[in-house]
């Protein structure tokens, strides 16, 4: 297989557990795209910049409290080594206090040069490195994970599938949930009848205009029921 030597989308992940990557991103569509050189991944070990014989990367929180905090000098050095000042990629810190990741942000990231992702651990990251290295905090939901690695995988998967040539058909991503502002309409396939449940007649009648209207109505119905916060004025 011929592999491109100049991927158009480059991801660098800073983590204490580089062996977690590519993980699930190494299979299926993202894995095929990685092999083709559509995107590139570099997982860098933060501990390479740790201090002393034991490569220490954390210390006790100033002011007291439970847990440990990732040191600013260690993480700052790791970021500097991975992304010099002329690197135009956004620097993202996976953090539960960050701005929620939304599809419009994912699409914008996928259209750029790539990302530098910082995966925190312990109680958190020294605030000074967030400001000093211009890290944008990003959250994938209102819950706590053991570290930022799984969140980084989520963000990468969401971006990679939108890269040109990754999905089989461009249209397969255009009507998905959040792309249109609503949740996605229901899907059906064979058999026509299953356990007393039939495919809606409109979907088998061949009237494409009626199908489009049904899908819009169903998307709106589901959004009203499950995610009313997504509705625009006049849709509630």
Number of domain units in the chain: 2
Q: Do 42 and 116 sit in the same domain of this protein?
A: yes
**Does 210 lie in the same domain as 153?**
no
CA 173 to centroid of chain Cα atoms = 15
Report the alpha-carbon distance of residue 213 to residue 231 in Å, rounded. Answer: 18
Cβ atoms of residues 235 and 225 within 8 Å: no
Q: Are residues 142 and 36 in the same domain?
A: yes
CATH number, residue 114? 3.40.1280.10
Question: Based on the domain organization, do 55 and 109 belong to the same domain?
Answer: yes
User: Is residue 26 in a domain?
Assistant: yes
Quick one: 63 and 149 in the same domain?
yes
Please compute Rg for the chain using Cα positions. 22
Residue at a domain's end among 102, 125, 160? 160
Cβ pair 107, 46 in contact under 8 A: no
Tokens 């083709």 found at = 36
Contact 36, 6 (CB under 8 A): no
Could you tell me whether strands 91-100 and 114-119 are parallel, antiparallel, or unpaired per DSSP bridges? parallel
Q: Is the dihedral of CA 170, 175, 180, 182 positive or negative?
A: negative
* Domain boundaries, position 111: 9-160
pLDDT in tens, the chain (236 residues): 444 456 689 999 999 999 999 999 999 999 999 999 999 999 999 999 999 999 999 999 999 999 999 999 999 999 999 999 999 999 999 999 999 999 999 999 999 999 999 999 999 999 999 999 999 999 999 999 999 999 999 999 999 999 999 997 654 556 666 787 899 999 999 999 999 999 999 999 999 999 999 999 999 999 999 999 999 999 98
Q: Please, what is the end-to-end C-alpha distance for the chain in angstroms? A: 52
Q: Is 4 within a domain?
A: no
Alpha helices in the chain (DSSP H): 28-36, 72-82, 103-110, 127-132, 149-160, 208-226
Provide CB contacts within 8 A for 40, sequence distance 6+.
7, 9, 10, 11, 34, 114
């Amino acid at each position: 297989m011929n592999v491109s030597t100049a991927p158009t989308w480059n991801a660098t992940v800073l983590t204490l557990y580089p062996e977690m990557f590519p993980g699930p991103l190494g299979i299926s569509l993202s894995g095929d795209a990685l092999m083709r050189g559509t995107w590139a991944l570099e997982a860098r070990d933060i501990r390479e910049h740790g201090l002393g014989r034991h490569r220490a990367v954390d210390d006790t929180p100033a002011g007291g409290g439970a847990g440990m905090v990732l040191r600013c000098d260690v993480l700052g050095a790791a970021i500097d080594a991975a992304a010099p000042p002329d690197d135009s990629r956004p620097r993202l810190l996976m953090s539960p206090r960050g701005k929620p990741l939304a599809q419009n942000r994912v699409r914008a990231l996928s259209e750029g040069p790539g990302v530098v992702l910082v995966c925190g651990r312990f109680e958190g990251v020294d605030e000074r490195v967030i400001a000093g290295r211009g890290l944008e905090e990003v959250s994938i939901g209102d819950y706590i994970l053991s570290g930022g690695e799984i969140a980084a995988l989520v963000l990468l998967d969401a971006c990679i599938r939108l890269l040109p040539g990754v999905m089989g058909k461009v249209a397969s991503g255009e009507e998905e949930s959040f792309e249109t502002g609503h949740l996605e309409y229901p899907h059906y396939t064979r058999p026509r009848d299953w356990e007393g449940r039939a495919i809606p007649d409109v979907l088998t009648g061949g009237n494409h205009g009626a199908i489009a209207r049904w899908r819009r109505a169903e998307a709106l119905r589901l959004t009203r029921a499950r995610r009313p916060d997504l509705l625009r004025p006049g849709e509630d």
